[in-house]
Structure 1
Amino acid sequence: MDVVSDAISTVRIGRPSSNRVGVSGRWSTRLAPYDGAGFHVVLRGGCRLVPDGGGDPLLLGPGDAVLLPHGAGHVLADAAADGAAVARAVAFEDWTAAGSPRPPATGAEEVQLLCGKYRLDRSRVHPLLAELPQVVHLPNRIGGDPELRFAIDLLGRELGEQRPGACIAVPSLLDLLLVYMIRSWLASGTTGAWSAVLGDEVAAAALRALHSDPAAPWTNDRLAAEVGVSRPTLARRFTSLVGRPPMGYLTWWRLTLAATLLRETEAPLAGIARQVGYGTPYALSHAFHREFGTTPGRYRAAAAATA
């Protein structure tokens, strides 16, 4: 597994949801803060996105995508909406229940959107995802992000035509869309720390090794030999970029994987301990309590109660 795949898979829970909407004329709808991530893609026309908290409004055109990785509340409205229209925005659930979106009025330009959500467990967010901004705007550019464009086109068709197999195709395409949106952000020239981490040969190689086999008996010497650098070079480069030393990161990652297995499987604690590199259930329990402030058993019970 690579870092981006692992960062997503350990926090994602349940199935993503989405819908395709069409509306015209003057409209505005508010989406409340969400314990997950949201996204919008403009398939046709244009609209305005206004983040909660006084963030700068975004004008979105055809093909533009927006990821809200921390579930920030916001308003979607027609492109000409002013402050008063934003203030009058109807809750998204009420808006759809009342029959909106609606067919375009005669002569009016229809706006078509893909709107969706991903459920995330924020207790275990990887720092790569944590540093994403509140709003990630991915504008449509000629020749840019062809994979993202293909995923958007395929998802729009699946939601619009309801063809056989859509119940499997749509969730898979939504997962693919999330990966492509994060990839696009990483490749956009952002100054985020994890763009630098993944672009550094030493740090990236060390992370690939740790993520490929977290249960291996890693030491600083063994990891340095795997990467092909000296131990001091590994420690200096990794720590300065990632923010913690290699073995500190490994401990955190092992416990994050343990939490995922506790939530998503019924495997016994002894099996989970072996899978994430701990010799005994007691050793895992002690480390888990130190990291999460609770025992593995209580963590599993709480996760089951909220599933």
Structure 2
Amino acid sequence: MDVVSDAIAAVRIGQPSSERIRVGGTWCTRLAPYEGAGFHVVLEGACWLLPDGGAPVQLGVGDAVLLPHGTGHVIADSPADAATVARAVSFERWVDAGMPRHSCASSDPGPGTGGQVEMLCGKYRLDRSRAHPLMAELPHVVHLPNRVGSNAELRAAIDLLGSEVGAHRPGSGVAVPSLVDLLLVYMIRSWVAQDTTGAWPAVLGDPVTAAAVRALHSDPAAPWTNDRLAAEAGVSRPTLARRFTALVGRPPMAYLTWWRLTLAATMLRDTQASLAVIARRVGYGTPYALSHAFSREFGTTPGRFRAQTTTD
């Protein structure tokens, strides 16, 4: 697997959910902070996203926005004032009530859309306790405007998802969750491609460090050494150590140890594989060696961790 796929797989749990909504007039609705990630895609019209503690974001047709840390926010027909936002109806009540018009009236609504707005809104369940740093450094709001010639895969996924959600076609029960998952991949991929300040876009944009990280993710159980990894990346050991540590924030073997234990935690959470099997898959010679390293990293034994995550 590649780094982005691994980063998503490590935190994603359960099935995503999505709603297709259509509303007009003066409206606003609030989505509370969430232990996961939220997204909105505008299919028709325009609206505003008002994130808690952040600047308003205007969304037009084809725009996608990801809130990867579950930031609470309001979506509305206009950049409403604080008093209006405080009266916003919760999204769940709003949808259950049939998305009433004038659900958040304001004496001065500002420059709203005035027309019909159709959106896809959804959530992903995420376990952030062992989030990959690529996921952790995503901004609170990832706005991906619809621009001609950009994000072709994202646009295609949006079109497919828009045609499936609410259509009740044969197979839609499988198609919709798969397309929602695909949308998450394309939104994060688009951010990696466009961001010029983040650490992990820089990691993946550097040929030496990217090659080393890809190698570790492709076969984490291999008997990696600094010399072997440097040869894989095509540079000397000192060069790899310097560039990898500067960009990733930890030396190559320290990153490998952390990633192996993160994979072990994911397998403990998501599978019934024995500790011996998991140890072999992530590069530890014995279950005892894995258990010792796991306890040192996470402060609990693999058995207790599995019992806790299964209960949760």
Task: Pick from 134, 139, 145 the counterpart of residue 145 of structure 2.
Answer: 139
**1:174-219 CA distance string (max 9 Å, x none):** 1110011011111114310111100111100001110010001101
**1:48-76 CA distance string (max 9 Å, x none):** 111112x1011111111110000000011
Relative to structure 2, which stretch is displaced further, 173-182 or 158-167? 158-167
Q: 1:123-138 counterparts in 2 under 5 A?
A: 123-138=129-144
**Distance in 2 between residues matched to 1:215 and 1:222, nearest whole Å:** 14
How far 1:142 sits from its partner (Å)?
1.3
How far 1:153 sits from its partner (Å)?
0.6
Number of the residue aligned with 2:295: 289
Q: Within the alignment, does 1:299 sit opposite 2:305 as a pair?
A: yes
Kindly indicate whether the alpha-carbon contact (under 8 Å) linking 1:15 and 1:118 is maintained by their aligned counterparts in 2: yes
TM-score, length basis structure 1: 0.95
Kindly indicate whether the alpha-carbon contact (under 8 Å) linking 2:29 and 2:75 is maintained by their aligned counterparts in 1: yes
Relative to structure 2, which stretch is displaced further, 222-231 or 269-278? 222-231
**Distance in 1 between residues matched to 2:14 and 2:272, nearest whole Å:** 16
**1:123-166 CA distance string (max 9 Å, x none):** 11000011110001111111111111110010000014221110
**Distance in 2 between residues matched to 1:151 and 1:160, nearest whole Å:** 16
Identity fraction in percent: 76
Number of the residue aligned with 1:37: 37
* Structure 1: runs of 5 or more not aligned: 103-107
Relative to structure 2, which stretch is displaced further, 295-304 or 189-198? 189-198
**Distance in 1 between residues matched to 2:252 and 2:25, nearest whole Å:** 55
Number of the residue aligned with 2:83: 84
Q: 1:91-110 counterparts in 2 under 5 A?
A: 91-100=90-99, 109-110=115-116
Number of the residue aligned with 1:10: 10
Shift in alpha-carbon separation, 1:80–1:69, aligned structure 2, 3 A: closer
Number of the residue aligned with 2:56: 57
Number of the residue aligned with 2:207: 201
**Distance in 2 between residues matched to 1:187 and 1:93, nearest whole Å:** 34
CA RMSD between the two structures? 1.3
**Distance in 2 between residues matched to 1:72 and 1:2, nearest whole Å:** 27
How far 1:80 sits from its partner (Å)?
5.7
**Distance in 2 between residues matched to 1:256 and 1:4, nearest whole Å:** 15
Number of the residue aligned with 2:48: 48
Number of the residue aligned with 2:237: 231
Aligned partner of residue 38 in structure 1, secondary structure: strand
**1:268-291 CA distance string (max 9 Å, x none):** 101101110001111111110111
What letter matches 1:192 in structure 2?
G
Kindly indicate whether the alpha-carbon contact (under 8 Å) linking 1:206 and 1:223 is maintained by their aligned counterparts in 2: yes
Task: Pick from 158, 165, 170 the counterpart of residue 164 of structure 1.
Answer: 170
Shift in alpha-carbon separation, 1:275–1:101, aligned structure 2, 3 A: farther
Number of the residue aligned with 1:67: 66
**Distance in 2 between residues matched to 1:278 and 1:41, nearest whole Å:** 43
**Distance in 2 between residues matched to 1:65 and 1:76, nearest whole Å:** 13
Kindly indicate whether the alpha-carbon contact (under 8 Å) linking 1:136 and 1:185 is maintained by their aligned counterparts in 2: yes
Kindly indicate whether the alpha-carbon contact (under 8 Å) linking 1:37 and 1:118 is maintained by their aligned counterparts in 2: yes
What letter matches 1:21 in structure 2?
I
Shift in alpha-carbon separation, 1:155–1:101, aligned structure 2, 3 A: farther
TM-score, length basis structure 2: 0.94
Number of the residue aligned with 1:105: none
* Structure 2: runs of 5 or more not aligned: 102-113
What letter matches 1:146 in structure 2?
A
Number of the residue aligned with 2:285: 279
Aligned partner of residue 249 in structure 1, secondary structure: helix
Aligned partner of residue 261 in structure 1, secondary structure: helix
**Distance in 1 between residues matched to 2:126 and 2:262, nearest whole Å:** 14
Aligned pairs, number:
301
Relative to structure 2, which stretch is displaced further, 254-263 or 136-145? 136-145
What letter matches 2:13 in structure 1?
I
**Distance in 1 between residues matched to 2:310 and 2:82, nearest whole Å:** 43
Kindly indicate whether the alpha-carbon contact (under 8 Å) linking 2:39 and 2:65 is maintained by their aligned counterparts in 1: yes
**Distance in 1 between residues matched to 2:50 and 2:205, nearest whole Å:** 33
Kindly indicate whether the alpha-carbon contact (under 8 Å) linking 1:26 and 1:81 is maintained by their aligned counterparts in 2: no
Q: Within the alignment, does 1:118 sit opposite 2:117 as a pair?
A: no
**Distance in 2 between residues matched to 1:178 and 1:256, nearest whole Å:** 21
Kindly indicate whether the alpha-carbon contact (under 8 Å) linking 1:22 and 1:101 is maintained by their aligned counterparts in 2: no
**Distance in 2 between residues matched to 1:117 and 1:177, nearest whole Å:** 11
